[in-house]
Structure 1
Amino acid sequence: MASAVDAVTATFRFYEELNDFLPRAQRGRDCVCACARAATVKHMIEALGVPHTEVELILVNGESCGFDRLLQDRDRVSVYPRFEAFDITPLLRVRGEPLRTTRFVADAHLGGLAHLLRMTGFDTLYDNHFADSEIESIAMREGRIVLTRDRELLKRRGVTHGCYVRAIKATPQLREIFSRLDLGRSARPFSLCLDCNAPLRRIDKTEVDGRVPPGVLARHDRFATCACCRRVFWEGSHWRRMRALVDELLPPGTA
């Protein structure tokens, strides 16, 4: 245990949706915390319950800093989520660069969201048998954004980019992720297999004879297939329901 000489006291204040991770009594107010002299900002933020992946900007005594800043006695730490309305480019963000390609890995509870992200063209790995350690390893190795409702997973050292998903059901989850990460302009709807996460390719009508019901062959002319599972897709009633959701998510003129 730290002695009275070694201990330091810092004041933390979390803003906007970061308060969702705090006990109700600590939300929207200063929180005075005792911590070891060697504690970093990241260590204390996560000790208070906030995953580091949810943090975009940290100010200590009014100056921006990174996660590795060592806390000193009487420091005042202000912690902010992603900014929607303000340009904070002159300030030091807590991670150097965004990921070059937007790709995801989803935990075991987000299978529905994974399918909908694939529907909108985002490479999303999902297996309901993935252990947390495996998700961390995949995220590190392949530069993927971790999607989860488990805040402890987002606290793992190897997870540099991640989102805590607040919504419970798949469609609201998709709307949430599109809004938070501004995905609308980079979506490529109906370009990936919903099951395999592999690219789809257009296929001539003559090549699907015997692979789809006769009525479908008679009513439709546009088909696509997945090279992995060989499933054939067409623009039927299920596609029209998905198209309506896609049109809602994409900016005007990009659908």
Structure 2
Amino acid sequence: MLPVTATFRFYEELNDFLAPTQRRREFSCVCARAATTKHMIEALGVPHTEVELILVNGESVGFGHVLQEGDRVAVYPKFEALDVTPLLRVRPEPLRTIRFVADAHLGGLAQLLRLAGFDTLYDNHFADDTVQALATADARIVLTRDRELLKRRTITHGCYVRELKPEAQLRELYDRLDLAGSTHAFRLCLSCNVPLRQIDKSEVHGRVPDGVFERQARFVTCDVCKRIFWEGSHWQRMRALIDSVVGERRRNATQ
């Protein structure tokens, strides 16, 4: 069977995944006969988890659409302002509960997401197969800087993290996934990813420094690692970070 030729145009941040000669312009590409939109989009370097909408000859299609000779394909990322409700989005409805699994390069981001209250699995030794299995089993959003991982068929929700430093990565995710309204800071242990519980002051006597015991009235603990936490200077710095990130997002939403 003869191949077909289609014309592609990718928009906004999806261009980051393309070869320099293909960015922000239309370009023609030879496609295998019976190639689908998903196959060709990923063959060009764009993970399917980054795509929100595909138009072929002006009509909204899904990932399984088979390309025909002369098709014009427009590929879009998540829309921040444009209402695309009447169109066919290429994945199911957004996840009801936001949970993450982060790959081995994103330990700092994983801790900050836990700080903000988001269930985030992370282990420096997670293999790609493990990340994929956890994402599938628990309906988790995969966070990674490995675009090939996001191309795996069973991963339906994922984000290629562009920023390099944890705080910038956190701000990036808040912008891209609109996380401000789901923030419940200081409810999870940063090490164990389990809920913290309040503990009576009398139970921490001898387990925290004397000065902390005298100054603080409220303590919480993790039932896994048994650590005790209180609202000290580190808590205040972390509180300021979360307030800054959430506040920025809310200000942007009202502009």
Scaled by the length of structure 2, the TM-score of the pair is 0.96
**Which ranges in structure 2 are unaligned for 5 or more consecutive residues?**
251-255
Aligned twin of 1:41: 37
Bigger mean CA deviation after superposition, 107-116 or 93-102: 93-102
Distance in 2 (CA, whole Å) between partners of 1:60 and 1:134 is 35
Matched residue SS, 2:126: coil
Q: Aligned to 2:95, which of 93, 99, 103?
A: 99
**Alignment RMSD (CA, Å):** 1.1
State whether structure 2 residue 63 is matched by structure 1 residue 75. Answer: no
How far is the alpha carbon of 1:219 from its aligned partner?
1.2
Q: Aligned to 2:24, which of 20, 28, 34?
A: 28
What are the residue-to-residue correspondences of 1:223-234 with 2, within 5 Å?
223-234=219-230
Distance in 1 (CA, whole Å) between partners of 2:185 and 2:33 is 51
State whether structure 2 residue 72 is matched by structure 1 residue 89. Answer: no
How far is the alpha carbon of 1:135 from its aligned partner?
0.5
Matched residue SS, 1:67: coil
What are the residue-to-residue correspondences of 1:29-178 with 2, within 5 Å?
29-178=25-174
How far is the alpha carbon of 1:238 from its aligned partner?
0.5
Once the two structures are superposed, what CA deviation does each residue of 1:144-192 show, in whole Å capped at 9, x if it has no partner? Answer: 0000001001001111000000000000000000111000011100000
**Which ranges in structure 1 are unaligned for 5 or more consecutive residues?**
none
Matched residue SS, 2:28: strand
Aligned twin of 1:203: 199
Distance in 1 (CA, whole Å) between partners of 2:207 and 2:158 is 40
Q: Aligned to 1:9, which of 1, 5, 11?
A: 5
Scaled by the length of structure 1, the TM-score of the pair is 0.96
How far is the alpha carbon of 1:251 from its aligned partner?
4.3
How far is the alpha carbon of 1:250 from its aligned partner?
2.0
Once the two structures are superposed, what CA deviation does each residue of 1:174-212 show, in whole Å capped at 9, x if it has no partner? Answer: 000011100001110000000000000111111111111
Matched residue SS, 1:79: strand
Matched residue SS, 2:42: helix
Once the two structures are superposed, what CA deviation does each residue of 1:68-96 show, in whole Å capped at 9, x if it has no partner? Answer: 10111111100000000111000000012
Matched residue SS, 1:250: helix
Distance in 2 (CA, whole Å) between partners of 1:69 and 1:106 is 31
Matched residue SS, 1:158: coil
Answer yes or no: is the 8 Å Cα contact 1:111–1:128 preserved in 2: yes
Once the two structures are superposed, what CA deviation does each residue of 1:45-83 show, in whole Å capped at 9, x if it has no partner? Answer: 000000000000000000001001011111110000000
Aligned twin of 1:186: 182
Q: Please tell me the residue identity of whatever aligns with 1:213.
A: P
Distance in 1 (CA, whole Å) between partners of 2:206 and 2:47 is 51
Distance in 2 (CA, whole Å) between partners of 1:251 and 1:47 is 39
Q: Please tell me the residue identity of whatever aligns with 1:217.
A: F
Which runs of 4 or more aligned residues in structure 1 lie more than 3 Å from their structure 2 counterparts after TM superposition? Answer: none
Matched residue SS, 1:77: strand
